[in-house]
Chains A and B, each alone.
Chain A
Amino acid sequence: MKIMVCVKQVPDTEMIKVDPVTGSLIRDGVPSIINPFDLNALEAALQLRGEYGGSVAAVCMGPPQAEEALRDCLAMGADSAVLISDRVFKDSDTLATSHVLSLAARQFGPFDLVLCGKHSLDGETGQVGPQIAEFLGWNQVTYASCMRQTADGLVIDREMEGGVERVLTQTPVVCTVTKTHYEPRKATMKGKLAAKKAPIEILSSQTLQGLDLGRIGLVGSPTSVTRSFVPPVGEPGVIIKEATDALSAAKLAELLAQAEAI
């Protein structure tokens, strides 16, 4: 089974700071991490390779420093890594990103599976997986919690709000993956050392085959940001701190009754 895993580097949201005037992200000093949900996709790929053989390629579109994210993927066990990096890709939205990743799937394929995280930590739109599938014209299964190969095709459990749906699909297929059975493994020391020296293929807009410059970056992204701002903060409320917690509770009940709040 030949598998491509899409990974994204995101700012660590625990450390996020926003400019109070412009509402834009202050990137200085904010560490980047691999989108944690992409690690579930990578883990799924490694498990599938373990069971059915094949290879796992990690592919990332991002700035040069995203190489670090790919080294982490190699350390976990990916066979190869591709960084698609070029200034012209900057400000690509989900559609433009999906265009680029679908071209990578063609160039380095044929793949049986393209796996993505269920969404990114920073965008949370969950759109890239479905859009890659649409561009490739492949089947797709989102929120896959368990994947198995059978004589009839791939059997995939997908976690929906109302329960689990089990579907049978033929490859090639694009799946977005959940954590349930794919808690990411830790990289071994040996893996980390090997990853340091492993080659990473770097593609630019010139070497990515089939690229349409009109469909990437700011110009090629249908969504545009008109403005950003920081939401206003309301007036502080009443803080109750009586001698004991029971007295505080009594005071609150009294205030709520007075205000007819409940």
Chain B
Amino acid sequence: MAKLKSVFILSENPAALGQLAAAAREIGESVSAVLIGRGQEKQVIEGGADRVYLLPEGQGQIVEDYVPSIQKLIADEKPQAVLVRTSRKGRLIAGRLAAASGTSVLADTSRLWVENDSLHSARMVYGGAAIRVERAKGPVTVALVGDGLYEPLKPDAGRKGDVVEVPFVQPARRATLVESRPKGGESVNLAAAKKIVCIGRGLAKQEDLSLIEDLAKTLGAEVGCTRPITEGVNWLPRERYIGVSGVMVKPDVAFVIGISGQIQFTVGVNTARTIIAINNDKNAPIFKSADYGIVGDLYTVVPALADKLKG
């Protein structure tokens, strides 16, 4: 399969560049990462990049301030593809880079490959009910790549790459940062979890989350949830939401509890090696994607199961 000559990778969080590098290596001959500020170059090269373009730190207050600089870099270096990590900022950056290059973004890809010399993307549409294969015309394709789709490559300390400094381009207009209030508490990387216990609206009230957390603790698992649990009732933070527009997970084991199994959710979890469903409705669609299913009341099954597993 022919590869693209040059692929750029871009993430406001350099820790996620490993996944993007893995994706870029599959589709491109040479991989260049764009970084803001020093410190990560070595790690990014060891993780699969051939080149690092380094933008000066401190010129922009917010990451969008760097968009004109990246636009100029793309116009000068003419990569065939730019992979941007899916995030709220990533969507904005990808949209602006694409529009400036006269193209649209291939959003929310679930797989990228090169076919007839152009980048193709498979994407779930209609909440995962169908898969659509898309490509974008134009000299450069901008694609959004979500967490958990590509396994980072094993770091190779022997890998060589060069670092090229790139000048900052003043944006014509910008928003100024007044203050930043980071969300308190935990941050979680569900995409990397080996075991996940997922909960949905089968749970009657927020206090009952302790049942689920207890099972998760017994298993050494992370807790994930459906969209209504985070966006509907806000019982869990958005980072724990699994599904077509949330996190895509690929654990060894997923317990799916009190979740009927709408496709919008199952697409986020159905690559788990083993799926175990617990639901009181024997006709719930989740049983179709489950390897093991218990038809029963989660309020009695979950504590009993936690007990058994504590063994």
Interface residues, chain A, with chain B CB atoms under 8 Å away: 13, 16-18, 23-25, 93-96, 98, 119, 122-127, 129-131, 133-135, 137-143, 155-156, 159-170, 173, 179, 221-231, 233-234, 236-241, 244-246, 248-250, 252-253, 255-256, 259, 261-262
Query: In the complex, which residues of chain A have a beta carbon less than 8 angstroms from the beta carbon of B137?
Result: 222-224
B300 to chain A, nearest CB (A): 4
Complex contact B108–A125 (CB within 8 A): yes
How distant is the Cα of A179 from the Cα of B124 in the complex, in angstroms?
Answer: 25
How distant is the Cα of A222 from the Cα of B177 in the complex, in angstroms?
Answer: 34
Can you pick out 9 interface pairs between chain A and chain B where the beta carbons lie within 8 Å of each other? Answer: A18-B130, A124-B107, A161-B88, A161-B239, A166-B177, A166-B181, A230-B131, A233-B288, A253-B309
Q: Is B69 an interface residue (CB 8 A)?
A: no
Complex contact A223–B293 (CB within 8 A): no
How distant is the Cα of A224 from the Cα of B99 in the complex, in angstroms?
Answer: 16
Given A137-B172, A237-B287, does the pair A222, B138 have CB atoms closer than 8 Å? yes
Complex contact A94–B292 (CB within 8 A): no
Given A95-B103, A167-B62, A234-B289, does the pair A252, B88 have CB atoms closer than 8 Å? no
Q: Is B180 an interface residue (CB 8 A)?
A: yes
Query: In the complex, which residues of chain B have a beta carbon less than 8 angstroms from the beta carbon of A256?
Result: 274, 276, 292
How distant is the Cα of A23 from the Cα of B306 in the complex, in angstroms?
Answer: 41
Query: In the complex, which residues of chain A have a beta carbon less than 8 angstroms from the beta carbon of B275?
Result: 237
Category for how many chain B residues contact A: 35 or more
Query: In the complex, which residues of chain B have a beta carbon less than 8 angstroms from the beta carbon of A245?
Result: 294, 296-297, 300-301, 304
Complex contact A134–B131 (CB within 8 A): no
Interface digits, B81-109 against A, CB 8 Å rule (1 contact, 0 not)? 00000011101101110111011111110
Complex contact B87–A261 (CB within 8 A): no
A182 to chain B, nearest CB (A): 14
Complex contact B102–A222 (CB within 8 A): yes
Complex contact B108–A164 (CB within 8 A): no
Given A168-B176, A222-B136, A225-B132, does the pair A248, B95 have CB atoms closer than 8 Å? no
Give the contacting residue for B173; candidates A94, A170, A222; CB below 8 A.
A170
Q: Is B305 an interface residue (CB 8 A)?
A: yes
A-B contact sample (10 more), CB < 8 A, given A245-B297, A252-B276: A95-B102, A122-B126, A126-B95, A130-B95, A130-B96, A142-B91, A156-B175, A224-B137, A240-B293, A241-B294
Complex contact A139–B174 (CB within 8 A): yes
A101 to chain B, nearest CB (A): 12
A215 to chain B, nearest CB (A): 9
How distant is the Cα of A255 from the Cα of B307 in the complex, in angstroms?
Answer: 15
Q: Is B76 an interface residue (CB 8 A)?
A: no
Give the contacting residue for A165; candidates B128, B180, B270, B297; CB below 8 A.
B180
Query: In the complex, which residues of chain B have a beta carbon less than 8 angstroms from the beta carbon of A248?
Result: 294-296, 301
Interface digits, B239-276 against A, CB 8 Å rule (1 contact, 0 not)? 10000110000001100000000001001001001111
Q: Is B183 an interface residue (CB 8 A)?
A: yes
Complex contact A246–B183 (CB within 8 A): no
> Which partner residue on chain A sits nearest B89 by CB separation?
A160
Given A139-B175, A161-B88, A222-B102, does the pair A231, B130 have CB atoms closer than 8 Å? yes
Given A229-B130, A248-B301, does the pair A237, B99 have CB atoms closer than 8 Å? no
